[in-house]
Amino acid sequence: MRKVILVAGLCLAGNLAFAGAPEAEDAVTNILFDQKMENASYSFRSDGFVDILFGPAVPEAEYIRIVELIKKHPAVPGVLAGRGKSDYCPIGK
């Protein structure tokens, strides 16, 4: 009986983590929009972490600041960030 309860609890915990994915995506999208950051590409892993790449034209301080904002958001369980080899949008002239 204990095994059945444990398995049911684990299934529910997995569903709760999956249910938070739209909230995490909304949070990342809103942060990037609010910070006027268009030079980034992101996706979400099955565990809810966001994989985000910033273009090389993004200043280091800006990269760090935005990653910290995403990490601090309660709807985002984790962030895997890095630098891409090309920019993800045209850089203003």
Ordered by start, the domain boundaries in the chain are 21-93
91 DSSP 8-state letter = P
Segment 22-81, tens digit of pLDDT: 889 999 999 999 999 999 999 988 777 899 999 999 999 999 999 999 999 999 999 999
- Model confidence at 90, in pLDDT bands (50, 70, 90)? low
User: Where is pLDDT greater, at 81 or 1?
Assistant: 81
The pLDDT, as a whole number, for residue 47 is: 75
Rounded-to-integer distance, Cα 55 and Cα 41, Å: 8
Task: Assign domain 21-93 to its CATH architecture.
Answer: 2-Layer Sandwich (3.30)
3-state class (DSSP) for residue 80: strand
User: Where is pLDDT greater, at 90 or 3?
Assistant: 90
Phi, psi of 92 (to 5 degrees): -55, 145
Rounded-to-integer distance, Cα 1 and Cα 36, Å: 53
The pLDDT, as a whole number, for residue 63 is: 96
43 DSSP 8-state letter = E
